Amino acid sequence: MKYLRYNISDHPRFNRRKFYFRVAVILAASLAFIFLGVNRWSRTRQLLVGNLNRLEEIQNRIRQLDQSAARYREEIDEKKRQWQREVDFVNHLIRGTTRPLVEKMTLLEKILPDQGVVKELKYTQEEKGLGLTLKVSAPELTQLLDFYRELKSLPGITYFIRDEEILERENTATVILRFIDE
């Protein structure tokens, strides 16, 4: 049961000593809490300031690295600019030799007769371009004739038939192709 306080006197006398003691205890506890709180806050602040300084250092380092990366990029660009013409020229040379040859061989592959067999393939460097000796055999003569027709329609190519051998099951033709440079 709680304490049932009852005093109907008009002049109650209060226990000041007890009151001040309690107030002093509460004040002391409050001050202790405030001191602990401030102490903890200042330690946390120090930690925070330290972390912020470290963060700033890291940011500066990142900035320096960015600057040096930009400098290197500029140097690379400068070098690129210096060497671009040479590089372009070399690339042009590579493209001029390899690519057209590959393209032409791809075209030839497409127009070869079905079940046809390439029996001989020989390159020769000529004055105006490339020369190619191609010995092809096909089971039907009509297939060979189709092949000639296709060859005729190809741009930048001239050809002539060097010899033909017509047998019952195998028709062989040796064709000389000339690729004219563009």
18 vs 81 by CB, closer to other proteins: 18
Residue 5: CB minimum distance to other proteins, A: 6
Other CB atoms within a 10 A radius of the CB of residue 141 amount to 13
Q: How far is the CB of 27 from other proteins (least distance, A)?
A: 12
* Residue 61 tokens, joined: 């380092």
Q: Would you give the DSSP letter of residue 170?
A: -
The count of other CB atoms within 10 Å of the CB of residue 108 is: 20
- If the CB atoms of residues 25 and 94 are measured against other proteins, the closer one turns out to be 25
Q: Which residues bind other proteins (CB under 8 A)?
A: 1-16, 18-19, 22-23
Q: Smaller CB distance to other proteins: residue 16 or 169? A: 16
β-strand partners of 138 = 171
| Residue 10 CB, nearest approach to other proteins (Å) | 6
Indicate the residue among 19 and 123 with the shorter CB distance to other proteins.
19
How many Cα atoms within 13 Å fall on the side-chain side of residue 143?
A: 18
**With respect to other proteins, which residue has the nearer C-beta, 12 or 155?**
12
Q: How far is the CB of 34 from other proteins (least distance, A)?
A: 20
How far is CA 99 from its chain centroid? Answer: 26
The answer to whether 127 and 173 are in contact (CB under 8 A) is no
- In the complex, the smallest distance separating the C-beta of residue 54 from other proteins, rounded to whole angstroms, is 49
Q: At what angle do helices 141-153 and 16-111 cross, to 10 degrees?
A: 120
